[in-house]
Structure 1
Amino acid sequence: WISNGTCVHYDLRGFADRAAELLPGIRVTLGTRPGAADLWVPVDMTADWTEAQALRGDTHTLCNFTADANETLPQGEDVHLCVEVNSSTGYQSLRCAEPFQADFTAPVVHSALQHGEDSGAPEDRQKWRTALPLTYDTELTFEDLSTPLRYELAVLNRSGVMREYAVVEDLSDLLVTDLQMEAGEVYWTAMRVTNAAGLSAVVESPGVLVDPAPPAEFTVTDGNDPTRDVDAQSSTSELWVQWGFTAQNENGTVPWGGGPPIAYWEVAVMLSPCLGQPVHGFVRIDVEDGGSNGTDSRGGLKRFTGLALQPQSTYFACVRAWTATGRVAQVASDGITPDLTPPRRGPLTVPRGVAVTSEVVELEVDWGPWQDPEAMIVGYLVGAGSQPGALDLFNSSALSNGSALLPPDVLSATLALQVGTVQDADAMSLVVTPGGGAPGAAAGDP
Structure 2
Amino acid sequence: MKLQYQLNAAFTALLLVIMAVTGYFIYSLILDILIQDEQRQLKQKGEILIEVLNEENYGDRESLEKFSRFLDDQDLQLFLYDRKNNAVFYSTMPNSVAQGFFNNNNFADNKEALWEFENNKYVTSRIVVYPANSGLELILLTPMNDLQAVQQNFVFRLFIVFMIGGIAAVLLSYFLTKKLVTPLTMLKVQLKKVEKRKFDDLERVEASGEIKEVEESVFEMAEELKNYMKSQQTFFQNASHELKTPLMTIQGYAEGIKDGIFDEGDKENGLEVMVTEVKRLKLIINEMILLAKLDSEPDVYQPEKITGETFLKQIVDRALPLVNERGIHFTHQAEDNCHFIADEEKLLRAILNLIVNGIRHAKTKISLQIFKQNGATYITVEDDGEGISDEMMPHIFHRFVKGKNGETGLGLAISRAIIERSGGKITVDKSTLGGAKFIITFPGN
> Structure 1-normalised TM-score?
0.24
Considering fraction of residues, name the structure with more helix. Answer: 2
Considering fraction of residues, name the structure with more strand. Answer: 1
Structure of greater Rg: 2
